[in-house]
Amino acid sequence: MANGTSALLEIRDLSVRFNTDSGVVRAVNGLDLSIQRGKSLGFVGETGAGKTTTALALLRLIQSPPGEITSGEIFFDGQDVLKMTESERRNLRGGKIAMIFQDPMTSLNPIMTVEEQIVEMISLHSRLRGRGAMKRAHEMLELVGIRSERGRDYPHQFSGGMRQRVGIAIALACEPTLLIADEPTTALDVTIQAQVIELIRNLQKMVSTSLLLITHDLGVVAEACDDVAIMYAGRLVEYAPLRPLYKHPMHPYTQGLFNAVPNFNSEPGVKLAVIQGLTPDPTNLPKGCSFSPRCPNARDICYKQSCGMREYESGHFVDCYFPLTTGEGA
């Protein structure tokens, strides 16, 4: 999907497993994904689909044991991430690739001031030291809408939205080439969500950073992304530019996600549509298409083997033998 020389990130046939007492958890299964330079990709799926695991594999942060990358290649800016030394990977993390975590209280150090944490990142990945690093830290705080004098405060002295802004300031302090935002608005109220997404969009354009936005919120993706990748049970099921996918979702799972979004034009009392059934057990995935037990359009071949990603329209890839054609569904 979207392969080519302009791709900043290219993931090929990535599989990640976790060996547990309950069995082998197949978290990511043969994933192919790419992100173009300066573009933003929305990575959408239910909880447990493998989105965060993919991001952690990219950063080589999968804890082993129990986790391991069993197959695949990850190329970032032409370099093979899986063949890097630990020293090279440390330089990559925070320098060229930065991550905003879902809960800033789990990523911020409670016994260090905010400015100390930003200075630490700057000192690790740039030549700035001392006053120069502190000045840059204060500039980043101002950039994300926090007064520089508040840099002497500790994380617990900030609200949830302000802590997320601090996380963004740390992530962007060294102007990374790729920013990974892992559900950055989940723990925030609606008003603050909008502010954080607008902030990420503006900063991304300002420093020409590519963005991988991990979320389950299709509304957030619509506001912030150029392309969309839909993930289910560790596999991509649909990939397309934003407008074609929102105008014409082709995979039955994607269609189900859109049908479940509240519609303000619906009559009072109308219940939201739901996708029947439950997500499959990753230790015992169905044979064939993983979505087939929940799919209203499934036929015999769907239960026997997976279709694989096929380009049904220009730039629109779907892992389905019987995608929804124009005029069907929403």
DSSP labels, 201-253: HHHHHHHT-EEEEEES-HHHHHHH-SEEEEEETTEEEEEEEHHHHHH---SHH
Closest CA to 278 of 259, 289, 293: 293
Residue 156 carries which side chain, given as an amino acid letter? Answer: H
Residues 159 and 296 in one domain: no
Phi, psi of 94 (to 5 degrees): 85, -30
In this prediction the pTM is 0.88
Where does residue 21 rank: exposed (0-12), middle (13-18), buried (19+ CB within 10 A)?
exposed
Model pLDDT, residue 172: 85
Number of compact structural domains in the chain:
2
Domain that holds residue 307: 252-330
Model pLDDT, residue 2: 52
The answer to whether residues 151 and 139 touch, using CB atoms and an 8 Å cutoff, is no
Residues 165 and 268 in one domain: no
Domain assignment of residue 245, yes or no: no
The tens digit of pLDDT for each residue in 140-170 reads 999 888 999 999 999 999 988 889 889 888 9
**Final residue of a domain: which of 232, 264, 283?**
232
Taking the CB of residue 230, how many other CB atoms lie within 10 A of it? 26
Residues 218 and 164 in one domain: yes
The tens digit of pLDDT for each residue in 239-251 reads 999 999 999 999 9
Residues 52 and 187 in one domain: yes
Distance, in Å, from the CA atom of 222 to the CA atom of 139, rounded to the nearest integer, reads 30
Residues 191 and 55 in one domain: yes
Summary mean pLDDT of the chain: 88
Domain assignment of residue 124, yes or no: yes
Distance, in Å, from the CA atom of 13 to the CA atom of 201, rounded to the nearest integer, reads 30
Side-chain-side CA neighbours of residue 211 (13 Å): 32
Distance, in Å, from the CA atom of 57 to the CA atom of 81, rounded to the nearest integer, reads 10
Helix (H) or strand (E) holding 13: strand 7-20
The tens digit of pLDDT for each residue in 49-102 reads 999 999 999 999 998 889 999 999 999 999 999 999 988 988 888 889 998 887
Residues 192 and 269 in one domain: no
Residues 85 and 129 in one domain: yes
Looking up residue 175, the CATH number of its domain turns out to be 3.40.50.300
Domain assignment of residue 246, yes or no: no
Domain assignment of residue 2, yes or no: no
Residues 227 and 256 in one domain: no
* Residues with Cβ within 8 Å of residue 250, at least 6 apart in sequence: 238, 312, 313, 316, 318, 320, 323, 324, 325
Residues 205 and 308 in one domain: no
The answer to whether residues 181 and 214 touch, using CB atoms and an 8 Å cutoff, is yes
Residue 314 carries which side chain, given as an amino acid letter? Answer: S
The tens digit of pLDDT for each residue in 226-275 reads 999 999 999 999 999 999 999 999 999 999 999 888 777 767 777 778 88
Residues 176 and 318 in one domain: no
